[in-house]
Amino acid sequence: MNSSPSSSLPQTEKKSSETYRSISYLFSQGKLWELDALKDGPCVIERCSEKNWLGYLQTELLKKSEVYQPMVWAIVENRKLVYQRKLTSKLFMKQEIEKILDDHQPNWRVTMRLWEEEYRYALESNRLMSSSYRHLPTKEEQGAIYDLFASQQENPLEIWLQIHDDLLRSYESLGLEDEQEEMHEKDYTRRKHNYVPFIKSFIKALYEEGHLHNQLSL
């Protein structure tokens, strides 16, 4: 969302004094968060659930619309959900292709054993399986996957290899999203932590050990 503060200044002055910034909202860990480009860190708007967070978001946006004019809105899907959905489809397609290969080329696993071992090694060495998402697609999604597979003119083994490449990229993307989420959570904790008791105790200890006497005498 891009916004600028409303003002009673003349139109010519208003254009030169407008300040545009980005404000994003997201639902995470049972809370609605605001990410304001002009604030030090994320702010919790309201505790909510996955079922009602959009209602709280609507209320917050109505409040913002009374303060900021004009406003430009953009709704972007959570990238993690996009990667998870893509991963789900690829895992399902991999499973279905393997069934076809087992029926028509019973020895295909012997041929692909080395590649499969390299694939599993890449997953384990990079800890990509931590972001695995193994829910089955919906019936509609399964139908779309079958249609996509039926339209492919390539050899099933080539499709199987391509799916493995796609899976590695999806796992890697999910892993990066997990790292960013963890980093943001730690950063938020640091920003909101009350350091005053620690600072007081530290200064008191310095004073008691005589490290501040010279500074105080000045």
Rounded to an integer, what distance in angstroms lies between the CA atom of residue 46 and that of residue 159?
46
Q: Which helix (H) or strand (E) holds 67?
A: helix 53-67
Q: pLDDT at position 138, please?
A: 66
Angle at 24 between CA 23 and CA 30, to 5 degrees: 135
**Model confidence band, residue 23 (pLDDT cutoffs 50, 70, 90):** confident
Rounded to an integer, what distance in angstroms lies between the CA atom of residue 49 and that of residue 44?
13
User: 170, exposed or middle or buried, with CB in 10 Å at 0-12, 13-18, 19+?
Assistant: buried
Q: Give the 3-state secondary structure of residue 26.
A: strand
Indicate if the pLDDT at residue 145 is higher than 80: no
User: Nearest Cα to 53, choosing from 74, 26, 76?
Assistant: 26
- pTM higher than the cut 0.85: no
Per-residue pLDDT reduced to its tens digit, 55-82:
988 898 888 888 776 666 666 677 888 8
Per-residue pLDDT reduced to its tens digit, 185-207:
888 788 778 888 888 898 888 88
Q: In angstroms, what CA-CA distances link 203 with 35, 199, 210?
A: 34, 6, 11
Q: pLDDT at position 172, please?
A: 84
User: Nearest Cα to 177, choosing from 77, 33, 74?
Assistant: 77
Write phi, then psi, for 102 (nearest 5 degrees): -60, -35
Task: Region of 29 please: left (phi>0), alpha (psi -120 to 50) or beta.
Answer: left
- Ordered strands of the 2-5 beta sheet: 43-47, 31-36, 21-28, 2-5, 68-72
Cross-strand partners of 46: 32
